[in-house]
Amino acid sequence: MRHDFIDRFSRIDSPIHRIATSVKVLAAFIAVIGAIILPISFLWYFLFHGFILIVAAFVSRIPKLFLVKRLLLMEPFVLGISVLVLFQPGGIGTFINVVIKSTLCLSTMLLLSNTTPFSELLSFLKKLYIPGLLVTILALMYRYLFVLIDEAEKMQRARESRTFTRNNSQIWKTRAILIAQLFVRSTERAERIYLAMLARGWK
Amino acid sequence: MHIPDGFLDAKTIISTTVFSAVGFGTALHRLKNTILPRQIPLIGLTAAFIFVAQMLNFPVVAGTSGHLIGSVLIAVLLGPSAAVVVMTSVLIVQCFLFADGGVLALGANIFNMAIIGSFIGYSIFRIVSKIIPGRRGWFTAIIFAAWCSTVIASIFCAGELAWSGIVRWNAAFPVMANVHMLIGIGEGLITALVIAAVLKTRADLLDTDKLNGFNSRHRELIIYGAITAIGLLLFVSPFVSQWPDGLEKTAALLGFESKTLDYSLVSSPIFDYKLPGIGSPALATSLAGLIGAVIVFILAYMISKILVSKSDERIPT
By the 8 A CB rule, do B9 and B108 touch?
Answer: no
As beta bridge partners, residue B67 has B57
The C-alpha atoms of residue B317 and residue B130 are separated, in whole angstroms, by: 10
Most A CBs within 10 Å, among B36, B39, B49, B199, to test the A interface: B49
The verdict on A138 and A118 lying in the same domain is: no
The C-alpha atoms of residue B246 and residue B155 are separated, in whole angstroms, by: 19
**Looking at beta carbons, which pairs linking A58-61 to residues 24 or more positions away fall under 8 Å?**
A59/A14, A59/A15, A59/A16, A60/A9, A60/A14, A60/A15, A60/A16, A60/A17, A60/A111, A60/A114, A60/A115, A61/A12, A61/A13, A61/A14
Q: Would you state the torsion angle of the CA atoms of residues B180, B298, B124, B28, taken in this order, to the nearest 10 degrees?
A: -50
Interface size A-B, in CB pairs within 8 Å, comes to 230
The C-alpha atoms of residue B161 and residue B179 are separated, in whole angstroms, by: 16
The verdict on A57 and A117 lying in the same domain is: yes
The verdict on A152 and A68 lying in the same domain is: no
Nearest residue to B20 (alpha-carbon basis) of B106, B98, B78: B106
Nearest residue to B64 (alpha-carbon basis) of B182, B217, B166: B182
* pLDDT given for residue B124 in this prediction: 92
Amino acid at B298: I
Each of the 317 residues of chain B gets a pLDDT tens digit; together they read 788 888 888 899 999 999 999 999 999 988 888 888 888 899 999 999 999 998 887 877 666 777 888 999 999 988 888 999 999 999 999 998 888 888 999 999 999 999 999 999 999 998 998 888 878 888 999 999 999 999 999 999 999 988 888 888 888 888 888 888 888 998 999 999 999 988 888 877 775 445 555 554 567 778 888 888 888 888 887 776 655 454 445 445 444 444 444 444 444 444 444 444 455 777 777 888 888 888 888 888 888 888 876 555 555 54
Nearest residue to B39 (alpha-carbon basis) of B223, B205, B192: B205
* pLDDT given for residue B265 in this prediction: 41
Partner-chain residue, chosen from B13, B172, B198, that has the shortest CB–CB distance to A84: B172
The verdict on A18 and A114 lying in the same domain is: yes
* pLDDT given for residue B221 in this prediction: 79
- Tell me the domain boundaries of chain B: 10-236+247-310
Write out chain B residues lying below 8 Å of A98, CB-based. 6-7, 166
Four-residue CA torsion sign, A146, A2, A78, A53: positive
Domain count, chain A: 2
The verdict on A77 and A135 lying in the same domain is: no
In B, residues 142-181, which contact A (CB 8 Å cutoff)?
Answer: 161, 166-168, 171-172, 175
- B103:A181 CB<8 A: no
By the 8 A CB rule, do A122 and A138 touch?
Answer: yes
The C-alpha atoms of residue B19 and residue B214 are separated, in whole angstroms, by: 19
Helices (H), chain B: 10-34, 40-53, 71-78, 80-98, 106-109, 117-131, 134-163, 169-201, 204-207, 219-231, 237-240, 243-252, 257-267, 281-310
The verdict on A58 and A97 lying in the same domain is: yes
The verdict on A27 and A73 lying in the same domain is: yes
Domain B10-236+247-310 adopts which CATH fold? Arp2/3 complex 21 kDa subunit ARPC3 (1.10.1760)
- Residue at a domain's end among A103, A124, A145: A124
Each of the 203 residues of chain A gets a pLDDT tens digit; together they read 565 667 778 878 888 888 888 899 999 999 999 998 888 888 888 999 999 999 998 888 888 888 888 888 888 888 888 887 777 777 787 888 888 889 999 999 999 988 888 888 898 988 888 888 999 999 999 989 989 999 999 998 888 888 776 677 778 888 889 999 999 999 999 999 999 989 998 77
Nearest residue to B106 (alpha-carbon basis) of B93, B87, B119, B91: B91
The C-alpha atoms of residue A138 and residue B44 are separated, in whole angstroms, by: 7
The C-alpha atoms of residue B157 and residue B176 are separated, in whole angstroms, by: 8
* pLDDT given for residue B17 in this prediction: 94
The C-alpha atoms of residue B207 and residue B76 are separated, in whole angstroms, by: 11
Q: Specify if A2 maps to a domain.
A: no
| Residue range(s) defining the domain that contains residue A180 | 131-199
Partner-chain residue, chosen from A83, A106, A190, that has the shortest CB–CB distance to B4: A106
The C-alpha atoms of residue A73 and residue B100 are separated, in whole angstroms, by: 10
* pLDDT given for residue B264 in this prediction: 42
* pLDDT given for residue B270 in this prediction: 42
- As a three-state string, the secondary structure of B124-190 is HHHHHHHHCCHHHHHHHHHHHHHHHHHHHHHHHHHHHHHHCCCCCHHHHHHHHHHHHHHHHHHHHHH
H/E stretch holding B67 reads: strand B65-67
The verdict on A27 and A99 lying in the same domain is: yes
Amino acid at A104: L
Q: Specify if A3 maps to a domain.
A: no
The verdict on A139 and A194 lying in the same domain is: yes
By the 8 A CB rule, do A153 and A2 touch?
Answer: yes
CB-based contact, B195 to chain A, within 8 Å: yes
* pLDDT given for residue B274 in this prediction: 45
The verdict on A168 and A195 lying in the same domain is: yes
H/E stretch holding B58 reads: strand B57-59
By the 8 A CB rule, do A67 and A54 touch?
Answer: no
Most B CBs within 10 Å, among A102, A141, A188, to test the B interface: A141
Q: Specify if A17 maps to a domain.
A: yes
Q: Say if residue B162 is exposed, middle or buried (CB neighbours under 10 Å; 0-12, 13-18, 19+).
A: buried
Helices (H), chain A: 15-18, 21-37, 43-59, 64-86, 91-115, 118-127, 132-162, 168-199
Write out chain B residues lying below 8 Å of A89, CB-based. 262
* pLDDT given for residue B254 in this prediction: 43
Nearest residue to B153 (alpha-carbon basis) of B196, B210, B110: B110
The verdict on A26 and A87 lying in the same domain is: yes
The verdict on A21 and A72 lying in the same domain is: yes
* pLDDT given for residue B210 in this prediction: 52
How is A120-162 classified by DSSP, letter by letter?
HHHHHHHHTT--HHHHHHHHHHHHHHHHHHHHHHHHHHHHHHH
Q: Specify if A145 maps to a domain.
A: yes
- Residue at a domain's end among A109, A124, A139: A124
A97-140: pLDDT as tens digits: 888 889 999 999 999 988 888 888 898 988 888 888 999 999 99
In A, residues 110-149, which contact B (CB 8 Å cutoff)?
Answer: 110, 112-113, 118, 121, 131, 133-134, 136-145, 147-149
The SS3 of residue B256 is coil
Amino acid at B304: S
Partner-chain residue, chosen from B51, B89, B168, that has the shortest CB–CB distance to A137: B89
The C-alpha atoms of residue A112 and residue A120 are separated, in whole angstroms, by: 12
* pLDDT given for residue A132 in this prediction: 87
Contacts of B138 (CB under 8 A, 6+ apart): B129, B304, B315
Ramachandran assignment for A169, one of left (phi > 0), alpha (psi -120 to 50 degrees), beta (any other): alpha
- Residue at a domain's end among A68, A95, A124: A124
The C-alpha atoms of residue B42 and residue B64 are separated, in whole angstroms, by: 33
